[in-house]
Amino acid sequence: MPSLLAATLDLVLPRRCLGCASPAEALCRRCLATVCRPRSRRVGALSVWGAAEYAGAVQEVLVAYKERDRRDVGRVLGVLLAAALERTSAAVLVPVPPSAAALRRRGADPLRAIARRAARITGRQVRPVLRHVRPVLDSVGLTAAERATNLAGAMWARAPDVPGQACVIVDDIVTTGATLSEARRALRAAGWRPAEAAAIALVT
């Protein structure tokens, strides 16, 4: 009885805004408007847009989504990603792939689901053409140089329908940019033209 289960879970876990604790799903409208401040940085040749700084309420929501598997925050994350995507122009979105370990642990690829939500809002199209070709370590705790070594040559991309097709690389949090750099390398090797990236949050 899914409705009874949902009602029971709601009693146990009341849905509160992770910013101000008012009744809301993940973030209330006011907190969402406050944190959504698109910003950009360069990662090599990539122009990267993020909807927010990785701090405060956005950090709370991303930790809930990544570490506590809170699927109910997906709508808010889709709205934030869409705000970053509005600053980019390519029609095709390519999400970075989950590591094999993350996929095993979670049984799904939540970033792809969030990219689909953002694509619906912005009228884009999601093409999950990237995958890992060898195991990579969890990047938590690695230095920038170790992250780059960990990811070098780790991805492979399916070729685009049209050689030289532009795309936006999509990730959740951009830290050192090692993931985006490897994604760009693999996409270029397959014949894509990735000049832009979009993320929910940038670590600054």
28 binds Zn ion per the rule CB under 5 A: yes
CA distances from 154 to 79, 104, 173, 176, 196 (A): 30, 18, 19, 16, 20
Among the listed ranges 14-22, 48-56, 70-78, 155-163, the one in contact with Zn ion (CB under 5 A) is 14-22
Calculate the CA 79 to chain-centre distance. Answer: 12
DSSP structure class, residue 123: T
75/131 with CB nearer Zn ion: 75
The site for Zn ion, by CB under 5 A, has a size of: 5
On whether the CB atoms of residues 196 and 89 are closer than 8 A, the answer is yes
Give, rounded to a whole angstrom, the gap between the first and last alpha carbons of the chain. Answer: 45
* The binder of Zn ion chosen from 9, 20, 63, 189 (CB under 5 A): 20
State the minimum distance, in angstroms, from the CB of residue 52 to Zn ion. 14
What the block records as the tokens of 93 is 């979105």
On whether the CB atoms of residues 132 and 143 are closer than 8 A, the answer is no
Maximum separation of any 2 CA atoms in the chain, in Å:
53
What does DSSP say about strands 155-157 and 130-132: parallel, antiparallel, or unpaired?
A: antiparallel
State the minimum distance, in angstroms, from the CB of residue 33 to Zn ion. 10
20/63 with CB nearer Zn ion: 20
Q: What share of the chain is helix, strand, coil (3-state, %, to 5)?
A: 40, 25, 35
Q: Which of residues 30-89 bind Zn ion (CB under 5 A)?
A: 31
Among the listed ranges 9-17, 83-91, 141-149, 155-163, the one in contact with Zn ion (CB under 5 A) is 9-17
Among the listed ranges 11-19, 96-104, 125-133, 153-161, the one in contact with Zn ion (CB under 5 A) is 11-19
On whether the CB atoms of residues 161 and 135 are closer than 8 A, the answer is no
34/149 with CB nearer Zn ion: 34
On whether the CB atoms of residues 159 and 191 are closer than 8 A, the answer is yes
17/126 with CB nearer Zn ion: 17
Among the listed ranges 23-31, 132-140, 172-180, 194-202, the one in contact with Zn ion (CB under 5 A) is 23-31
19 binds Zn ion per the rule CB under 5 A: yes
17/115 with CB nearer Zn ion: 17
Among the listed ranges 26-34, 80-88, 164-172, 176-184, the one in contact with Zn ion (CB under 5 A) is 26-34
Binding site for Zn ion (CB under 5 A): 17, 19-20, 28, 31
